[in-house]
């Protein structure tokens, strides 16, 4: 009995040692020389593997960064400017600073604003619903609320608000990887400039119907009345197909458009509460000045 165990141990031991030597030799002989910088660059990257950079993962992005001569067009949305500066320093290449962005849901058609006219009984998926019909409200452009954007987000940064049944973005968690933008069959989600102190203004509607039809379907629809364009001093508002769009590069965050919008489809975020009318003027001037300086 004892001798059986002993023989087994010796035989397996010898076998293991021989194979180890063989493997060692093979490993030496067929060693693939890999650029060390790829591994190092990958360590600098956040390791989210979200694909927001346009590559299949952090490893692929690191390879591309090492290979490319000019990396100014490449950007890691999760790590942002800090990560990209570090990468550039390590690789000795140049990057441009990019303004931080955030995902914005351009639909304010909550259950209150946009009454449901039928009930969808199929698979719980915006993609299936969009392929089936125009949606459970009279607005054929708005959010379907089945949460395809929530399902694809790797960071838990988007969730459906139980009261409005619309997706909302958690500013602290959103990395602007763009997964939700791609998943939305109605193209409602947009990556926009985060803005100074996270202050931003956008049109929260994508309805391209004529004003009367849009308004009938949803109380907060953009009706294309152009009041905002008239009020805007910086020509930052475009109106096409009865739908306004605020160009983030031109907008100076004066909030005049928000005041004049008859349906309340223009939304301002993270601004301090407005003060009584007379003081508002001064306050706004201050805002503009401070914004310019921070820019």
Partner 1 sequence: MIKTFKRGGVHPPENKISQKAALERIVPEGIIRIFISQHIGAPAECIVNKGDKVKVGQLIAKANGFVSANVHSSVSGTVLGIENVADYQGIKKTAICIQVEGDEWEESIDRSPEINRDLSKTSEEILAKITEAGLVGLGGATFPTHVKLAVPKGKTVKAIIINGAECEPYLTSDHRVMLEKGEELLIGVQLLKKAVNVNKAYIGIETNKQDAIDKLTKLSVNYNGIEIVSLKPKYPQGGEKQLIKSITGLEVPDRALPVETGCIVANICTTFAVYEAVQKNKPLFENSITITGKNLKVQKNFIVRVGTPLSKLIEAIGGIPENTGKIISGGPMMGRAISNMDAPTLKGSGAVLFITGDEAKRGIKSNCIRCSKCVAACPMGLQPFLLYRLAELNMLEELKENSVHACIECGCCLYTCPANLPLVDYIRLGKTRAMKLVVKPK
- Residue numbers at the binding site for partner 1 (CB under 8 A): 117-118, 121-123, 125, 127-128, 131-136, 140-141, 185-187
Q: How far is the CB of 174 from partner 1 (least distance, A)?
A: 22
Q: Which residues contact residue 130 at a Cβ distance below 8 angstroms, ignoring those fewer than 6 apart?
A: 144, 185, 186
Q: How far is the CB of 148 from partner 1 (least distance, A)?
A: 11
Vertex 197 angle, CA 273 and 221, to 5°: 60
User: Please, which residue, 165 or 206, has the CB nearer to partner 1?
Assistant: 206
User: Please, which residue, 14 or 123, has the CB nearer to partner 1?
Assistant: 123
CA distance 2 to 20: 27
User: Please, which residue, 56 or 118, has the CB nearer to partner 1?
Assistant: 118
- Which residues is 41 bridged to in the sheet? none
Q: How far is the CB of 188 from partner 1 (least distance, A)?
A: 10
Q: How far is the CB of 126 from partner 1 (least distance, A)?
A: 11
User: Please, which residue, 109 or 195, has the CB nearer to partner 1?
Assistant: 109
Q: Which two tokens stand for residue 76?
A: 């890691």
Q: How far is the CB of 115 from partner 1 (least distance, A)?
A: 14
SS3 for 11? helix
Q: Annotate 70-95 with DSSP letters as a single string.
A: --TT---TTTHHHHHHHHHHHHT---
User: Please, which residue, 84 or 177, has the CB nearer to partner 1?
Assistant: 177
Distances (CA, A) of 134 to 7, 13, 57, 130: 76, 70, 35, 6
- Which residues is 170 bridged to in the sheet? none
User: Please, which residue, 70 or 121, has the CB nearer to partner 1?
Assistant: 121
């Amino acid at each position: 009995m004892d001798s059986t165990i002993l023989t087994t141990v010796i035989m397996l031991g010898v076998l293991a040692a021989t194979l180890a030597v063989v493997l060692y030799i093979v490993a030496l002989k067929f060693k693939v020389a890999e650029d060390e910088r790829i591994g190092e660059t990958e360590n600098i990257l956040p390791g989210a593997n979200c694909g927001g950079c346009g590559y299949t993962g952090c490893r692929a992005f690191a390879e591309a960064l090492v290979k490319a001569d000019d990396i100014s067009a490449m950007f890691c949305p999760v790590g942002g400017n800090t990560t990209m500066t570090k990468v550039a320093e390590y690789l000795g290449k140049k990057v441009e600073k990019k303004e931080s962005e955030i995902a914005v849901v351009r639909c304010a058609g909550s259950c209150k604003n946009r009454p449901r006219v039928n009930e969808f009984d199929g698979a719980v998926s915006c993609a299936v619903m969009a392929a089936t019909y125009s949606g459970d409200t009279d607005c054929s452009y708005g959010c379907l609320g089945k949460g395809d954007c929530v399902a694809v987000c790797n960071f838990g940064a988007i969730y459906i608000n139980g009261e409005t049944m619309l997706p909302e973005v958690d500013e602290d968690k959103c990395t602007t990887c763009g997964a939700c933008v791609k998943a939305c069959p109605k193209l409602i989600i947009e990556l926009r400039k985060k803005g100074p102190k996270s202050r931003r203004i956008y049109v929260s509607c994508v309805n391209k119907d004529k004003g009367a039809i849009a308004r009938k379907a949803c109380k907060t629809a953009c009706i294309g009345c152009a009041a905002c364009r008239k009020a805007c001093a910086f020509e930052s508002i475009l109106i096409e197909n009865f739908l306004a769009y605020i160009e983030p590069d031109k907008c100076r965050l004066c909030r005049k458009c928000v005041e004049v919008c008859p349906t309340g489809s223009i939304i301002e975020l993270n601004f301090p509460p407005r003060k009584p009318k007379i003081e508002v003027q001064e306050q706004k001037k201050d805002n503009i000045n401070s914004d310019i300086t921070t820019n």
